[in-house]
Structure 1
Amino acid sequence: MTTLYLFGAAAPPVLEVSQVIEEAHARGWEVCLGLTPTAARWMGDRLPDLAELTGHPVRSEYKLPGEPDVWPKADVILFAPVTFNTVNAWALGLTGKFVVGVVAEGIGKRIPTVAMPCVNAAYVQHPAFDRSVETLRGAGVTVLYGSGGFEPNQPGERRPEGFPWHLALDAADAHREV
């Protein structure tokens, strides 16, 4: 079985992560779940159930020096939803958050990585966002943003069709080594 690191930041679609894990399992992935600290706080009491569902601890913080790694190596990383803040921090190499550190290092390790932002139409007007998306794409990250990926909604609104998780999982599947 191949290992998918599924990472999520604090945007509403992260609340659907248990269904995404189940779908990833149905597609033949072993899943390790990593969350930003705020996303982990949002999940609160659900974290033990998510650890049971994946069979691995849910991580949101770096391990201490000398502690063993509790996850198998990633074959593919899927970071969805990834917020405006996290896209920009990742592109700048600001690795204060565990999941950002893993994906930043993943570029150098050449781990296939897919990212699907969840940002609203006001945030994407900021010039840093497009630069960050281009930086990540230039580093080899598959960023599902725009046509064929996540298209921004208006502030405070959710897309009626929901977050396009199927596109994110399809892209992760495309990176799976045969």
Structure 2
Amino acid sequence: MASRVLYLLGCAAPPVLRIAEVVRSAQRAGWDVCLGLTPTAAHWLEEQLPELERQTGHPVRSRYKVPGHPDVWPPAAAAVVAPATFNTVNQWALGLTEKFVVGFAAEAIGKGIPLVTMPCVNAAYARHPQFAHSLETLSRAGVRVLYGAESFTPNPPGEGRPDTFPWECALTAVGEAVAAAAPGPRGAAPE
């Protein structure tokens, strides 16, 4: 692959407050990281945005670009949507693309860009019937959904542990998703 550009797309859940560490981890793994945030997540990180832009070498985006203007990011090789809130997961599955992060993720499905998402919701939200349906919809669309015992499991409301959010699981999964999507050597027999 000529370019290892990762779109790291974060939502307003407490683990997003550690996004600078995640960017460093992704960069150590060889990714050129472009950081996108939902408007609320951008507000939470407002004071850190200049440093995050310096760290990534790209503008941090939380809004769509103006039509006709050039894109400020290089094309993505893959994307991680994490932490993905209840709202974002449901909007994405339903195709409601008011937010840049959701719009990119929805379009990436159609473009065949490898996608990984790891929700971050409390157990009360997780019991809402739309949430399970949305996770299933995204999974059927080809998104690698990291949810359950091997990745993220919901906590009771008010008992979140943002420092234990398994970011490394998301970074490992996106590497695997890119490898699985890469065409094999020419002339190689399919496995």
TM-score bucket (shorter structure): over 0.9
When the two structures are superposed, what TM-score results if normalisation uses the length of structure 2? 0.91
> How far apart, CA to CA, are the structure 2 residues paired with 1:142 and 1:149?
12
Secondary structure class of the residue paired with 2:155? coil
- Structure 1 residues 63, 112: CA separation in 2 closer, same or farther (over 3 Å shift)? same
> How far apart, CA to CA, are the structure 2 residues paired with 1:26 and 1:68?
28
Task: State the match for 2:109 in structure 1.
Answer: 107
Report deviation, 1:90. 0.2
> How far apart, CA to CA, are the structure 2 residues paired with 1:91 and 1:175?
19
> How far apart, CA to CA, are the structure 1 residues paired with 2:87 and 2:162?
24
CA deviations on 1:119-156 (whole Å, 9 max, x unpaired) are 00000111000000000000000000112121001111
Q: Is 2:83 aligned against 1:73?
A: no
Q: Where do residues 1-178 of structure 1 align in structure 2 (5 Å cutoff)?
A: 1-159=3-161, 162-177=164-179
Amino acid at match of 1:145: Y
Secondary structure class of the residue paired with 2:18? helix
CA deviations on 1:75-100 (whole Å, 9 max, x unpaired) are 01001100000000000000000010
> How far apart, CA to CA, are the structure 1 residues paired with 2:107 and 2:99?
12
Amino acid at match of 1:143: V
Report deviation, 1:173. 1.3
CA deviations on 1:29-55 (whole Å, 9 max, x unpaired) are 000000000000000111010011000
Amino acid at match of 2:124: A
Taking every aligned residue pair, what percent have the same amino acid on both sides? 61
Q: Show structure 2 runs of 5+ residues with no match.
A: 183-191
Q: Show structure 1 runs of 5+ residues with no match.
A: none
Q: Aligned pair count?
A: 178
- Structure 1 residues 160, 57: CA separation in 2 closer, same or farther (over 3 Å shift)? closer
Secondary structure class of the residue paired with 2:116? strand
> How far apart, CA to CA, are the structure 2 residues paired with 1:136 and 1:129?
11
Answer yes or no: is the 8 Å Cα contact 2:15–2:162 preserved in 1: no
Amino acid at match of 2:100: F
RMSD of aligned C-alpha atoms? 1.2
> How far apart, CA to CA, are the structure 2 residues paired with 1:160 and 1:12?
6
Secondary structure class of the residue paired with 1:176? helix
> How far apart, CA to CA, are the structure 2 residues paired with 1:76 and 1:5?
6
Secondary structure class of the residue paired with 1:79? strand
When the two structures are superposed, what TM-score results if normalisation uses the length of structure 1? 0.97
